[in-house]
Amino acid sequence: MATNIFVNLPVRDLDKSVEFFKRVGYSFNAQFTDATAACMVVSDTIYAMLLTHEKFQGFINTEICDAKKSTEVLLCLTEDSRAGVDERVGRALEAGGTEPRSPQDHGFMYGRAYQDLDGHVWEVVWMDPSAVQPQ
């Protein structure tokens, strides 16, 4: 059985965040979505739980980090091509996200990043499969 990952992210406005990520190209699982949380489907094994601050606070004993002022984590997802990277980040920018840095082109690997409405950084990368050495 494959291991699933559920990344939990606090969001200030759940409805706006859901709309943002729909425009970026992700879908949501209604079975795990309510007024306090939305289950964003990234792939068959990767999910992002967008949680209101109140819901998120119920899982922690510390303060919620303001991702617009501090960076706690970089979320990195792959695309099948350089064009896919540009398309995904382009959708995020059109939906209201920002691009925190210039694209990084290393020849065998190409990446860009965007910040969502709450400031969480999402990196999107493509790597040439022929550049990956077998172990």
Which residues span the domain enclosing 62? Answer: 5-131
Q: What distance in Å separates the CA atoms of residue 37 and residue 2, rounded to the nearest whole number?
A: 24
Rounded CA-CA distance 94/92 in Å is 5
Chain centroid to CA 102: how far? 18
Tokens 């489907």 label which residue? 41
Can you give the pTM of this predicted structure? 0.91
- pLDDT the model gives residue 129: 84
Provide the CATH number for the domain around residue 14.
Answer: 3.10.180.10
Q: Is the dihedral of CA 104, 12, 14, 7 positive or negative?
A: positive
What does the pLDDT profile of the chain (135 residues) look like in tens digits? 889 999 999 999 999 999 999 999 999 999 999 999 999 999 999 999 999 999 999 999 999 999 999 998 999 999 999 999 999 999 999 999 999 999 999 999 999 999 999 999 999 999 998 887 777
Question: What stretches of 1-135 show up as alpha helix (H) in DSSP?
Answer: 14-24, 53-57, 82-94
Distance CA 135, CA 112 (A): 27
Domain tally, the chain: 1
